[in-house]
Structure 1
């Protein structure tokens, strides 16, 4: 019912190409998240699926039907934006049912669908209020409810939580996850927040300057990044990357100590997640460095180490640490180590 296929989709603004031949199959009922840096084309791609941006080349199919030239109203999709876009003079009930009213739906049908959506989103007690009497999270739920009553083939979310504070973002992320399980509908979600992407997605699509860098589950992208871009983009703090060279079955870091290397081709970059590095005695591990900054966050502590020619390296430790700022330590790897070739591809 909600399978969406993008076939060599392109978008041009004059002579500037912003979406560069994207191929993607989204399964019925799947929760797919688009992530990437600002300007990578994630919102543009979402708007092309929704029909708000014209597709320059390629084809878009929904449940096997070509809808490339169809207007938004013919695609059976519903979109939730960063802005709530609620009518201030209308009640929550009227805001949620407005699309049904303009379509000429019977009042009994409108009341039933608005009531169902309000129950799912826990808005029953607010149906007679106006938007100004609601919190930011409640307004966003009304905007989502307005989409639910239309019974769409798929939901499109364009950074819907960006205007909320940290606590509300956590609450609404939980609500959206529950909504997906309750409705079982296809959802495509655009965000720059990695936590949202990692916790909500069945699959994540990482976009890099109008192309897909990698598609996979959150675990696949975190544990097996296809290239250096994905490795550094997914994960917070970001993966530590260090220039290296490989020779005679050994990996050499500038100013560091050699370690065994069994890669299939020469590596020029070594990558290690902060949680896979730990302090050691000076002279042990991959290299030595001086602890510049200690960031205590309660459950975690981050050690920012100046490793000279290797740059600043972040170590993540559980709980507190007995290490002091200014102390020289060795740094050793305790978990997966990633290698990348001169083109940035994973080895």
Structure 2
């Protein structure tokens, strides 16, 4: 079992509050990702769950048991850090089994658990090597294996892929996703990379200045962001935000034309994803603009269009395009993909 519940959790450093009343329930076996910009409190919150930081106020329950004041060793959690923290003089086998050895486990039990973890992580050929003889991805798998042998209640990952190059990050994302499928254990994962969050998570917790901005599945956060912060943090490229006015079930754009909408409450900003904008001839669609730059990425191209009072809008199109900087275009918005936000930045 690995259900984790945070109730009104706060963290204070003197007079400075960095975690501001977080309420969160994580189900047994769920993969939850904490994501947000640097300084938002995501690593601090993870360390509070792990017991490496004290909880100033509020309570933490694991499987219905209050562990707020218990030390890390009593919580049954395993943590994987950004740094591999492997013993350089020990073999992979000894590194993975070290925590069991210090706990006084029998040699046969240690060997069985190390071999089982090595099979899951495809580390059998490397068990007698030392860390210096491994690649970065292999070292991170050893660090994960060291946690697996402990059979923890939940795994806590603190930006485990930050030290890897781009190709290894993609490979290790796949390995961690497969690991969760096979172990079916609760996993909490901290990252600043929203691509990692989108590809790994059952649910994403977006943090902003120590508060939860929104919790939901990757699809919910992408399609229905709760506020403009989430709208522009989740998604690459980020959601376009335009000034607008609404009246009844219509909206209008300064310097543009507008159209119909599904909201009746007042809104001051319209949000639309780059892939929900189509390019045509000037005079058609919701507004006109001039191509500023074309970014060719292979299968896709990103076209940045200067739209006067509406600012620069990013449009995602197929990679094959004849557009060039300076070309005039009309931009059409998909009516079913519009998001509206009020003056407070909250979704209307």
Whether these two folds match at TM > 0.5 is yes
Q: How far did residue 248 of structure 1 move? A: 5.3
How many positions carry a matched residue from both structures? 347
Q: Does 1:139 align with 2:139?
A: yes
Equivalent residue number for residue 217 of structure 1: 217
Equivalent residue number for residue 52 of structure 1: 52
SS in 2 for 1:119: helix
**CA distance in structure 1 between the aligned counterparts of 2:296 and 2:333, rounded to whole angstroms:** 21
CA RMSD of aligned residues (A): 0.9
**CA distance in structure 2 between the aligned counterparts of 1:219 and 1:205, rounded to whole angstroms:** 13
Q: Does 1:338 align with 2:315?
A: no
Equivalent residue number for residue 232 of structure 2: 232
Structural mapping, 1:107-126, within 5 Å: 107-126=107-126
TM normalised by structure 2 equals: 0.98
Equivalent residue number for residue 173 of structure 1: 173
**CA distance in structure 2 between the aligned counterparts of 1:230 and 1:17, rounded to whole angstroms:** 22
Q: How far did residue 261 of structure 1 move? A: 3.6
Equivalent residue number for residue 194 of structure 2: 194
SS in 2 for 1:68: coil
Q: How far did residue 104 of structure 1 move? A: 0.8
- Structure 1 stretches of 5 or more lacking a match? none
Equivalent residue number for residue 42 of structure 1: 42
SS in 1 for 2:175: helix
Label 1:116 to 1:246 Cα distance change in 2 as closer, same or farther (>3 A): same
- The superposition leaves residues 164-207 of structure 1 with CA deviations (integer Å, 9 ceiling, x where unpaired) of 01111111011001111111100000011111111110000011
Structural mapping, 1:61-140, within 5 Å: 61-140=61-140
TM normalised by structure 1 equals: 0.98
Q: Does 1:151 align with 2:155?
A: no
Q: Does 1:271 align with 2:271?
A: yes
**CA distance in structure 1 between the aligned counterparts of 2:185 and 2:247, rounded to whole angstroms:** 52
**CA distance in structure 1 between the aligned counterparts of 2:247 and 2:201, rounded to whole angstroms:** 40
Equivalent residue number for residue 304 of structure 1: 304
- Structure 2 stretches of 5 or more lacking a match? none
**CA distance in structure 2 between the aligned counterparts of 1:236 and 1:95, rounded to whole angstroms:** 38
Runs (4+) of structure 1 exceeding 2 A deviation are: 247-250
